[in-house]
Amino acid sequence: MSSRGNLAIGDVLGDRYLIESVLGEGGMGTVYLARHIALRTPVAIKILHAQYSLDDDYRTRFVREARVTASLKHPNAVQVMDFGQFGDILYIAMEFLRGPTLRAVERHYGSDLSYDRIHGYATALADVLRAAHALPLTHRDLKPENIIVEDAYSEHERLVVVDFGLAFIANASEELGRMTETGIVVGTPLYVAPEQAEGAAVGPSADIYSLGCIFYELAAGKPPFLGKSTLAILNGHLFVPPKSLAGLVRDETVPSGFVHLVMAMLHKLPRARPTAEEVLDTLELVSPHHRIRPRARGEMAVQDRSQRAVTLSPAADSSTAVWPADQPTLRATDTQPDASAMATQPVSSGLSTGGVMAITSHIGLAGMEVTDEVIQQFAANGVGVIERPDGQPGADDALLVALEIDVEAAAAVVAAGTPVLAGARAGDMARIAGLLRAGVAEVVTLPVESTDLVRKTLRAIRKARRRQG
């Protein structure tokens, strides 16, 4: 053992691990390459420096890291094999990972990083968060440097999230209790959530924000906030709306649905961000592959791309509509126009030809023009459309889609028992906050293309059904 209390090459821990070399060193500890003597397999040994090992608080934190990391069994999370004590030094034995960090991989590909690869990375990372948050376990320091890519640059890449040392398990016992005091900023500035920047209590939604920063960087080549100082970066996370990813993506095949997902993950309000499960749901809908399958029986799935624009007649328009059009905002006091002036019967019915999904539910559409293309796109995904000119849903509506509905009107509809999908301009935090307080199921960024509106509507319907049991 060295004079600093670190390990020396040739040291043997617990009669099992032979220290061979140093892999890296940080402020609190060092990581070594070792060999399991009996199994003759390489392992990574992480130690806590002696000056910290003698501190009860740091010792508790280190033991806790071993236990919480060992509790997470997932192919995209580093696996803990053992932990113990060597003299005054605490150590953890983990699987040895061969490969560069995600940061190095991103730099290797540069502008050639394809959406297909980005989508694969995003899905793997969202899935490991889904598993961690189910424990419940929060990472608290997600960043490209904490993600190792095994078999990098091949078709068999495996992303592995490491360093759960800053995580804590909610509702854990006193022995494993929360180690980071409120008021202390924990995390890396480029990827830290606003609530972390404030030193407030954080939970799984902070991981979603950090993951959104990583997704943003993969697609745009840079994180959402840069600055000449840590303070400037933290102020960006706290107060500045991120620049829309739509105009920054390096791969033109990146779909707008992925862009909207990332921007939702970067919401300033933790409760407004999607869960890891919802991130996975959306990633399925924006898959670069032809067929997107539902996650569970009975849930709707977007059809093959060739079937999304269903043609009912040779004259049907194949262009993509963009909302909002010049439609008046719906108010809670608006009266219903003459029934003879606006059709209130379903404008889409079950279709059984051409491979189109049969209608399984209906939505009300208010405050916008209902074009043939919109009817076709919804019908291709099993949803019929009913115009609701008065802004009030019908008894059988699974959802009311009213992009410019007044906040009070939205609250009234939600209180009456119908979920609402509403819209808000990027940066209009007052309206977004008001709609969220009103309890709307989904808020989309305006203007929105019809294809993205369909995806958001399907997601809102699924969320509503899950809440209803």
How would you class 98 by CB atoms within 10 Å of its CB: exposed for 0-12, middle for 13-18, buried for 19 or more? exposed
How would you class 334 by CB atoms within 10 Å of its CB: exposed for 0-12, middle for 13-18, buried for 19 or more? middle
Q: Name the residue among 77, 72, 84, 15 with its Cα closest to residue 45.
A: 84
* 3-state secondary structure labels for all residues of 349-377: CCCCCCCCCCCCEEEEECCCCCCHHHHHH
Residues 127, 74: Cα–Cα separation, whole Å: 9
Task: Answer whether 42's CB lies under 8 Å from 34's CB.
Answer: yes
How would you class 390 by CB atoms within 10 Å of its CB: exposed for 0-12, middle for 13-18, buried for 19 or more? middle
Residues 370, 103: Cα–Cα separation, whole Å: 45
DSSP state of 345: S
Q: Which long-range contacts (CB under 8 A, 24 or more apart) does 48-53 make?
A: 48/89, 48/90, 48/91, 49/4, 49/5, 49/6, 49/89, 50/4, 50/5, 50/6, 50/87, 50/88, 50/89, 51/5, 52/28, 53/5, 53/88, 53/89, 53/90
Residues 438, 408: Cα–Cα separation, whole Å: 7
Alpha carbon 176 to chain centroid distance?
27
Q: By three-state DSSP, how is residue 379 classified?
A: helix
Catalytic residue among 141, 397, 406, 452: 141
Q: How do 17-25 and 29-36 pair as beta strands?
A: antiparallel
Q: Which residue has the tokens 């040291």?
A: 11
Task: Answer whether 5's CB lies under 8 Å from 52's CB.
Answer: no
E-assigned strand segments in 217-357: 322-323
141 is catalytic: yes
Task: Answer whether 80's CB lies under 8 Å from 70's CB.
Answer: yes
Q: Which residue has the tokens 């490209």?
A: 144
Beta-carbon count within 10 A of 376 CB: 23
Residues 156, 146: Cα–Cα separation, whole Å: 19
Residues 430, 448: Cα–Cα separation, whole Å: 19
Alpha helices, DSSP H, located in 4-112: 50-53, 56-71, 102-109
Q: By three-state DSSP, how is residue 458 classified?
A: helix
Residues noted as catalytic: 141
